[in-house]
Amino acid sequence: MTFSFFIQVLVNGFMLGLTYVLIASGFSLIYGIMRLLNFAHGEFYMLGAFATYLLCEHLGVHYFTAMALSMVIIGVLGVLVYHFFFRPFRDEHDPSLVIALGIAMLIGGLALIIFGEKDKSVAPVFSGVIQVWGATLSRERVAVIIVAIVLMAALTLYIKFSKTGQAMRAVSQDREAAALQGIGVDTTFRLCMGISSALAGAAGALLAPLFYVNPFLGMHAVLKALVVVVIGGLGSIPGAIAGGLLLGFVESFGNTFFGDITEILGFIIVMIVLLFRPQGLFGHG
Amino acid sequence: MKSFAESFWSKMVILGVVVVLAIPSFPLYAAQKELKFGAIFPLSGRGATWGMAAQKAITVKQKEVNAKGGLKVGADTYKLEIIWEDDKYNAAAGRMAAEKLVNRDRVKFILGSQSSAVILAVQPITEPNKILFLVNSYAKEVLAPDKPYTFRMVLTSNEILQGMYPWMTKTYPNLKAVAFIEPNDASGWSIEKDCRRMAEQNKYQVIFSQFYERGTSDFYPLLNKMIAASPDFVDFSGAPPGDQALMVKQMRELGYKGKTFSSTTMDPAEFCKIAGVQNAEGHISNTHDLLGAYTTEGQKKYYDGYIALYGKPFDPVTPKYQVYLDVLIQALEKAGTLDTTKVMEMMEKTEEWGTIFGASKFGGKEHYGIKRQIVTPVYISEIIKGNLVNRGTMMPALP
């Protein structure tokens, strides 16, 4: 293996990992605060990609404006879904899970009827490639890496230092104690759902020009997100980042050295993590 | 206020108009019976791209037949009705759909599916019940001597590659090494086997072959390894068109300069949008430009029917599915009966069928053990500056 080939494998893994981080961070945030495995999160990602596609390709909106609008649209949609579907079953784990699955199927089915089965694409904003120590990366991917890092840093700082972020942490640690301190649990849940859905919208918008857009993106995305958050620790944002990057590197190196069985490697890691650290790499016991 | 007489006569006039308007249509509908066909295709899930293309093509033919007054079988004329079922590209859902069609709807003819797994799950219902099952999907075991009621209506990679690989050897004699990238499932494995056999028969060296999970969108890791093997061309015949386009885009970004090749059909406009026009240049596929040099009268008619029903743009993936209903209708008219055994025998013994692709036949006795594989011409095209250019056509030999 040459040095440049090794660097290419490394860069591929990093990029792949970041796409997983983008999708998994919102998924993990919802679980951390609301204790809800939101299987509809993948569909929000898909809708984010479609919103960007419609805004850019049909309404001629500039890509970055479309991305911001997609985040707002999907964020609002997330709040509405919480209000009408999750809120009535807020403290009931099993019904919430079934509701989440039902919403995922409903959104996927509606998207198929409205947008059709064909793959669609968003015109790339950046063209050409750059070379990093002999490894090749398209400018589009570099842009995704930069925006993803900025988003993750902003999310981490927001949760750590902002007043509402601290309220989220308080609710995740002890809902009743937080409520006694005057924190509006319902408002916090709404905000959490809005932020995580907006993150899914951002992921869809960021990845739409890189890949394609179709109504089937959601299910695959949410399965990857589940693997990532189980590795990193359910509810932990640093865990989602670590889990996503780990899975990206494992798949990149797995493809190079093991070929066809790469997909299984992610599940092997999940099993190992569950055996030795059931709460995940960054999860709390 | 109107008098009783005025009111009575005005009612009589209205009644008279209704009766007069109803009379011309009454005998027509009274004489016309309904003939129900079942159709099991993936109308949701990742296989929906093909399922919905099939639905469009079959509906164009159904509307054409009904607009002409229906299908004449023996002394009766039937209006065609198709009961659509979604198999979700899943064997269990396909089997349930078949149970419903056979036991509740009492259909005798079923069209579908795309998936080998679905077809293999449905055949234990259709074969014992003597249901004529017209299918697609590439797996060899779908056709077998103990499954006489199953006919495959679309060419598989086996037949298509028989035309495309010799064409490649002749047209691009400098290409020597090939790489395969296929989906990691029964369909992908079956196609890879066909591709490998055909490549080796045509003296190509297979230097790379790897499978990927459906749903993958970042192919950089896989393509990076493939490019390191330095193939002259890449064959990803089993991948859906969107995945093919994405792979083309990503392999060009990674610096791959070789040819790209697929034995499947795709929509060139959609392909170029995803891959990029420059990246797609020279991509070879089994797509037929209906308005190109090989257009038959039937193709023009199908094109017009499609545009009338769905509007532009035309979807070039759809024409191959038109053959399903086209041949079945011809077989029913010829047999003059709805008896599936007699229709099946008619399909077997008829030497030539007129399809939108020209004269076609059933073959495969030697390869599949039973003459149930349709043989239509194979079209070869390349993408040049974002447009599909027909490069050649040939009839696969299928003894």
| Chain B residues whose beta carbon lies within 8 Å of the beta carbon of residue A8 | 224, 254
- pLDDT tier for residue B28 given thresholds of 50, 70 and 90: very low
Task: Give yes or no for residue B240 having a pLDDT over 60.
Answer: yes
Of A143, A167, A157, nearest to A18 by C-alpha is A143
Question: What pLDDT does A94 receive?
Answer: 86
Asked if the Cβ–Cβ distance from B217 to A216 is below 8 Å, we say: no
Higher per-residue confidence, B305 vs A262:
B305
Of A13, A83, A192, nearest to B224 by C-alpha is A13
Question: What pLDDT does B24 receive?
Answer: 46
Tens digit of each residue's pLDDT (9 = 90 or more) over B73-111: 999 999 999 999 999 888 999 999 999 999 999 999 999
Q: Chain A: nearest CA to B124, how far in angstroms?
A: 30
B254 interfacial to chain A (CB closer than 8 Å):
yes
Q: Which of A106, A117, A126 to mutate to test the interface with B (most CBs of B within 10 A)?
A: A117
Selected residues 70-99 of chain A with any CB under 8 Å from a CB in chain B: none
- SS3 at position B259: strand
- Residue ranges per structural domain of chain A: 3-276
Q: For residue B123, how many other CB atoms are within 10 A of its CB?
A: 22
Tens digit of each residue's pLDDT (9 = 90 or more) over B341-384: 999 999 999 999 999 988 899 999 999 999 999 999 888 999 99
Domain A3-276 has CATH 1.10.3470: yes
Question: What pLDDT does B132 receive?
Answer: 98
Task: Give yes or no for residue B8 having a pLDDT over 50.
Answer: yes
B366 interfacial to chain A (CB closer than 8 Å):
no
Residue of A nearest to B248 (CA): A211
Selected residues 210-229 of chain A with any CB under 8 Å from a CB in chain B: 210-212, 214, 216-217, 219-220
B207 interfacial to chain A (CB closer than 8 Å):
no
Task: Give yes or no for residue B168 having a pLDDT over 90.
Answer: yes
Q: What percent of chain B has pLDDT over 90?
A: 66
Question: What pLDDT does B18 receive?
Answer: 56
Place of tokens 């896989």: B222
B278 interfacial to chain A (CB closer than 8 Å):
no
- pLDDT tier for residue B27 given thresholds of 50, 70 and 90: very low
All structural domains of chain B, each given as residue ranges with its CATH number in brackets, are: 32-137+294-356 (3.40.50.2300), 158-288+384-391 (3.40.50.2300)
Higher per-residue confidence, B58 vs B292:
B58
CA A65 to the chain's CA centroid:
20
Give the H/E segment covering residue B111.
strand B109-112
Q: Which of B50, B52, B225 to mutate to test the interface with A (most CBs of A within 10 A)?
A: B225
Q: What is the mean pLDDT of chain B?
A: 89
Q: Which of B49, B221, B267 sits opposite A251 (nearest CB)?
A: B221
Asked if the Cβ–Cβ distance from B44 to A109 is below 8 Å, we say: yes
Contact, B283 vs B267, CB < 8 A? Answer: no
Residue of A nearest to B42 (CA): A117
| Chain B residues whose beta carbon lies within 8 Å of the beta carbon of residue A119 | 49, 241-242, 245, 270, 274
Q: Is B252 exposed, middle or buried (0-12, 13-18, 19+ CB in 10 A)?
A: buried
Question: What pLDDT does B50 receive?
Answer: 85
Q: Quote the tokens at residue B158.
A: 């086996």
Question: What pLDDT does B1 receive?
Answer: 45
A43 interfacial to chain B (CB closer than 8 Å):
no
Predicted ipTM?
0.86
A259 interfacial to chain B (CB closer than 8 Å):
yes
Residue B75 DSSP symbol: T
Q: Classify strands A129-132 and A135-138 as parallel, antiparallel or unpaired.
A: antiparallel
Q: Which of A211, A219, A253, A261 to mutate to test the interface with B (most CBs of B within 10 A)?
A: A211
Q: For residue B317, how many other CB atoms are within 10 A of its CB?
A: 22
| Chain B residues whose beta carbon lies within 8 Å of the beta carbon of residue A260 | 184, 210-211
Question: What pLDDT does B398 receive?
Answer: 75
Q: Which of A117, A212, A259 sits opposite B48 (nearest CB)?
A: A117
Q: What is the mean pLDDT of each run of 10 residues along chain A (285 residues)?
A: 85 92 94 91 97 96 96 97 92 88 93 88 90 88 93 93 93 90 93 96 94 91 93 91 94 86 86 91 79
Question: What pLDDT does A53 receive?
Answer: 97
A263 interfacial to chain B (CB closer than 8 Å):
yes
| Chain A residues whose beta carbon lies within 8 Å of the beta carbon of residue B184 | 260, 263
Q: Which residues pair with B209 in a beta bridge?
A: B180
B277 interfacial to chain A (CB closer than 8 Å):
no
Task: Give yes or no for residue B30 having a pLDDT over 50.
Answer: no
Question: What pLDDT does B251 receive?
Answer: 96
- Beta-carbon contacts of A275 under 8 Å, excluding residues fewer than 6 positions away, are none
